[in-house]
Structure 1
Amino acid sequence: MGSGIHETTRSVHSDAPRVSGTHEFTIRNYSRTKGIGIGKPIYSGNFTVDDHEWNIEFYPDGCSFFDWRDPALFARLVRMPVTPLQAAVKFQLIDPRPRNGAGKVLYGVNLAVATFDYNAYCWGLRRFISRKRLEGADLGALHDDSITVRCTVSVLKPEARVALLGNVEVPVPPSCFAENAARFLATGRAPFDVKFNVGGVVLEAHRLVLASQSPWFDSLLYGHWGDTRVVEIGGTSPEVFKAVLHYIYNDQLPDGATADEEATRQLFVAADMYLLERLKKMCASRLCRFLQDGTVESIMQLAEAHSCIELQQACKSYMATGLPV
């Protein structure tokens, strides 16, 4: 495609109990990378942090059908570790113009500590930044048709305490929903084959879609109750169940679904109930924003009840520092 990539490993240092490394790569001829296709990444070269090899995946056209408008960015562990490891990742866009001084940060996002193992070796952001903002003159990240991305990986040792401060988000794993199936279902041509009665409100859906995204729905719809045409749903309000269905079909939350703490709590509980791990982490990320003196204990109890380690860590950090996450 004719693009050029320039890379440097800026630093690797140990600050026990963590080891951090920073890697930069410049993607030249950026305009030529657009249109390479949804889900097709540009890989950085490998770099080493704490004796582990990493690289960066940059998706110019997005990593899934639902996010094709905006670039995605992930940190990837090249080889699976013998034992799971925990690491925090920070992505930044660096000013490429020499006159502005090397290393000036124009935009950045921190991810909270995530576990890298056989099941999840790649963490990042499906929407790192909007394409409009990335290419806009106000930000200044695109210069001479080039952008420079900096990735900092901090590997935590077992004794490390996790501090989730500043602009932090619970990392969200990339979507695994088949793009071709998603594209077809978005047309609405496939007939519904199951109904749910939620508090007197009847909602329709496709068995295959729900079962493919959730082990809970798989067991329900293709197990003992497989022949049931109308499924009674308890313990969840119609509004929350609608939000769950919207997420399953669209791979994102509906507008306003996590606008307030109570709505976010309910959706977090539903995500755990229906075994939607990614949705659960999305809600955990939102709940971090509601941490304050009057809510931290109840949110901590919620995190413990539903085994969300990242949210527990965020609460502990707030309790220890008194600083918002």
Structure 2
Amino acid sequence: MASKEVDMVCRMENFTKSFSLKIINYSLMQLLRVDEHPPLVATFDLAGCNWAVNFSTFSSECNITPRRNCVYSHIALQVSLLTEIKTLMYLEVEFRLLDPSGRYSVGDHTVSKSEGYLLKLKDAVGVTLCMRGSEITNYLKEDSFMLECALRLVKPVCVDARSKIVLVPPSNFSESALCRQFIQLWITGEGADVAFKVSGEKITAHKKVLAMRSPVFRAQLFGPMIDSKSDCIKIEDMNPDVFRRMLQFVYTDSLPLQEEFSVEMAQHLLAAADRYGLERLKLICEEKLSANIDVETAATTMVLAEQHNCEQLKEICLHFVASREKLQAVMESDGFSHLMESCPSVMKELLGKLDSERRS
């Protein structure tokens, strides 16, 4: 007996984000009433939702002895949801103070972590640091200080399996401080030791990071064919924005959410991922393309899938084109003639698919 096809797929997804925040004119913040309405200092996007960051400081007293009071300074940060949702989500928030030079501070009292559940608009998770006396002044520079925030969001992602899209497994990138430091390394570029000239634009990176993540970069940067005299590797057949996005994935194992990069970018990134052996990035691009197949893109996407060995994506394209109501429109598209000329083997598969569809 043939196994039943799955109609719906639901998987738990891990989303992470890390960013630094600078508070300027800290003394003026003391004039705001922060007990009930902490001021909004930042907004950002994560997992298809909008979020707000509210920040405040306040003081409290503690009676250590009948004759002595101790003043404590509190720094509070709150991450709240600005989007209506229909499912329960779990959020971890961690923030730490940075020293005046922007480096990580040392000590448990400069790090705070909290977690909570979100179900509706304006639900929030807050964290608070508590410091004794005027210790907070150690982190001020010109009436400003810096902090870093790291987030981890867990939510279910449900899709209609019958819509035929490629599913990407969740990232296995660690949620540790090491992961956040790799992200910071990508953002700052500090200590970069290799340069690429991509269609005339210079882009720097770190050899060992590239070699660790890509077998092609490893062979290029540390293999027997390396040119030790060359201080800049030329890449003429790739757009700088595509190369930069690919490097972002190398460092962070993620890209901006799918709605934030176009189908055209996904096509170019897929080719780049195949070129440098980045299999998870290929799947991310396949998912984007499979979710956006229409009569105008089906043929060109099928060519791309054939050229870069994307069997799932090719099968989804064949399934789309072979449907009776789509075939004629696809044949009239600009990409169909290119499909016939460049991929005759795919045309044979398409004819076989059409025959199978007709018989069923």
TM-score by structure 1 length?
0.50
* Structure 1 residue identity aligned to 2:280: R
Which residue is 2:162 aligned to? 165
Give 1:193 deviation, angstroms: 0.5
Q: Bigger CA drift: 200-209 or 188-197?
A: 188-197
Q: Distance in 2 between matches of 1:21 and 1:273?
A: 34
Q: Tell me how large the CA RMSD over aligned residues is.
A: 4.5
Which residue is 1:198 aligned to? 198
Change (3 A) 1:186 1:173: closer
Give 1:309 deviation, angstroms: 1.3
Contact 2:195 2:203 in 1 (8 A): yes
Secondary structure at 2:169's aligned position in 1?
Answer: coil
Q: Distance in 1 between matches of 2:157 and 2:217?
A: 40
After superposition, the C-alpha distances for 1:124-151 in whole angstroms (9 at most, x for unaligned) are xxxx96749962147xxxxxxxxx9899
Q: Which structure 1 segments of 5+ residues have no match?
A: 1-14, 25-55, 71-105, 108-127, 139-147, 153-162
Q: Distance in 1 between matches of 2:260 and 2:6?
A: 33
After superposition, the C-alpha distances for 1:28-73 in whole angstroms (9 at most, x for unaligned) are xxxxxxxxxxxxxxxxxxxxxxxxxxxx9x78xx487869x88xxx
* Structure 2 residue identity aligned to 1:309: E
Secondary structure at 1:313's aligned position in 2?
Answer: helix
Contact 1:170 1:310 in 2 (8 A): no
After superposition, the C-alpha distances for 1:170-223 in whole angstroms (9 at most, x for unaligned) are 223533569554333334485111000001100110011111111111111111
Q: Distance in 1 between matches of 2:89 and 2:257?
A: 18
Q: Bigger CA drift: 192-201 or 257-266?
A: 257-266
Change (3 A) 1:232 1:177: farther
Q: Distance in 1 between matches of 2:292 and 2:156?
A: 30
Contact 1:164 1:313 in 2 (8 A): no
5 Å matches for 1:122-161?
A: 131=91, 135-137=118-120
Q: Distance in 2 between matches of 1:129 and 1:319?
A: 38
5 Å matches for 1:1-325?
A: 16-18=2-4, 62=14, 131=91, 135-137=118-120, 165-166=162-163, 168-176=165-173, 179=176, 181-188=178-185, 190-223=190-223, 224-225=225-226, 227=228, 228-254=230-256, 259-321=261-323
Contact 1:258 1:283 in 2 (8 A): no
* Structure 1 residue identity aligned to 2:213: Q
Contact 1:164 1:314 in 2 (8 A): no
Give 1:254 deviation, angstroms: 4.0
Q: Distance in 2 between matches of 1:180 and 1:222?
A: 28
* Structure 2 residue identity aligned to 1:206: H
Q: Distance in 2 between matches of 1:216 and 1:231?
A: 14
Percentage of pairs with the same residue: 25
* Structure 2 residue identity aligned to 1:171: V
Secondary structure at 1:170's aligned position in 2?
Answer: coil
* Structure 2 residue identity aligned to 1:225: I
Change (3 A) 1:306 1:66: farther
Indicate the structure (1 or 2) with the bigger Cα radius of gyration. Answer: 2
Contact 1:196 1:204 in 2 (8 A): yes
Give 1:244 deviation, angstroms: 0.7
Contact 1:195 1:204 in 2 (8 A): yes
Q: Distance in 1 between matches of 2:163 and 2:302?
A: 19
Change (3 A) 1:236 1:151: closer
After superposition, the C-alpha distances for 1:276-317 in whole angstroms (9 at most, x for unaligned) are 110010001001122112221221111011111111121122
Contact 1:66 1:251 in 2 (8 A): no
Corresponding pairs, count: 204
Q: Distance in 1 between matches of 2:315 and 2:247?
A: 29
Change (3 A) 1:258 1:164: same
Give 1:258 deviation, angstroms: 6.3
Give 1:250 deviation, angstroms: 2.1
Secondary structure at 1:186's aligned position in 2?
Answer: helix
Change (3 A) 1:150 1:204: closer
Contact 1:247 1:254 in 2 (8 A): no
Q: Which structure 2 segments of 5+ residues have no match?
A: 20-45, 48-85, 93-115, 122-154, 327-360
Change (3 A) 1:135 1:175: same
* Structure 2 residue identity aligned to 1:285: E
Q: Distance in 1 between matches of 2:4 and 2:258?
A: 37
